[in-house]
Amino acid sequence: MALLEVSDISVRFGGNLALDGVTIGAEAGCVTGLIGPNGAGKTTLFNVITGLQPPTSGQVTLDGAAITRLSPTKRARRGLGRTFQRLELFNMLSVRENIRVAADIHRSYSRSKDDPAAVTDAIIERVGLGAVADARVDALPTGQCRLVELGRSLATRPRVLLLDEPASGQDDTETVAFAALLRELAAEGMAIVLVEHDVALVMDVCARVHVLDFGRVIASGSPAEVQRDDAVLAAYLGTSS
């Protein structure tokens, strides 16, 4: 059984069916890709999983327990973490302060005895932000801001991590380092779901890829299988031969 399971999720906005019977899973220890054209429903699906958008129908399950009716706060406390396509940071705070906020909140509800300051410092080094730890985030380039948001999510100790275009704004060197970090996090037992338009990154780090188009899953499989799928080639990766 996958650690995270999304079963037959549909979302309707008036006459628009944004998601239509979507079923996917994410296993612990793996990076799972979720790709598709703009407007395919990827961020809407993340919002359903994290409780920001109630589904019209369907169920979300975390570690065998249905969480569809839980609040976003309760889902986060059960181990869901995410980043956002549109950056959501405390812009007037430093890198360190942004991550420390999450570490303090996690300690308050988890009863962890870990020192939030030490947790924060370890995460800063792990995601590669040591040189800018005390800089205000509104002074940083987008690629580094993405890492701040990732670090803040990691401070909540998630079991499932949803990443919405986390490599946007990164240069080639940063993307290589980011791919290595994703592999490390997955190897430690985390389930990662990656929404990303950098197809090369997705195909490099993901064990399985789901492809959305017009709110429906049109293909699921290994990176190699997805890249050969005629429906995916026509809808997203290029013209089918």
Task: Report the mean per-residue pLDDT for the chain.
Answer: 94
pLDDT tens-digit series, residues 138-170: 999 999 999 999 999 999 999 999 999 999 989
What is the tens place of the pLDDT at every residue in 9-59?
A: 999 998 899 999 999 999 999 999 999 999 999 999 999 999 999 999 999
Is 0.85 topped by the overall pTM? yes
The reported pLDDT for the residue numbered 237 is 73
Helix and strand tally (H, E) in the chain?
9, 10
Q: Which of 15, 67, 71 is nearest to 215 (CA)?
A: 15
pLDDT at 240 over 60: no
Both tokens of 230, joined, read 């005629």
Task: Specify the 3-state DSSP secondary structure of 35.
Answer: strand
Bigger pLDDT: 241 or 226?
226
Residues 6+ apart with CB under 8 A from 32: 24, 25, 26, 191, 192, 193, 194, 206, 207, 208, 209, 210
Find residue 210's DSSP bridge partners: 34, 220
For residue 67, what is the enclosing H or E element?
none
**Percentage helix, strand, coil, to 5, in the chain?**
40, 25, 35
241 band by pLDDT with thresholds 50, 70 and 90: very low
Helix (H) or strand (E) holding 85: none
The whole-number pLDDT of residue 239 equals 56
163 beta partners: 194
- Which domains, and CATH codes, for the chain? 1-79+159-174+186-241 (3.40.50.300), 85-157 (no CATH)
- Cβ neighbors of 26 (< 8 A, separation 6 or more) are 2, 3, 4, 32, 160, 191, 192, 193
60-105 per-position pLDDT tens digit: 999 999 999 999 999 999 999 999 988 889 999 999 999 999 999 9
Q: Could you tell me the two tokens for 2?
A: 């996958």
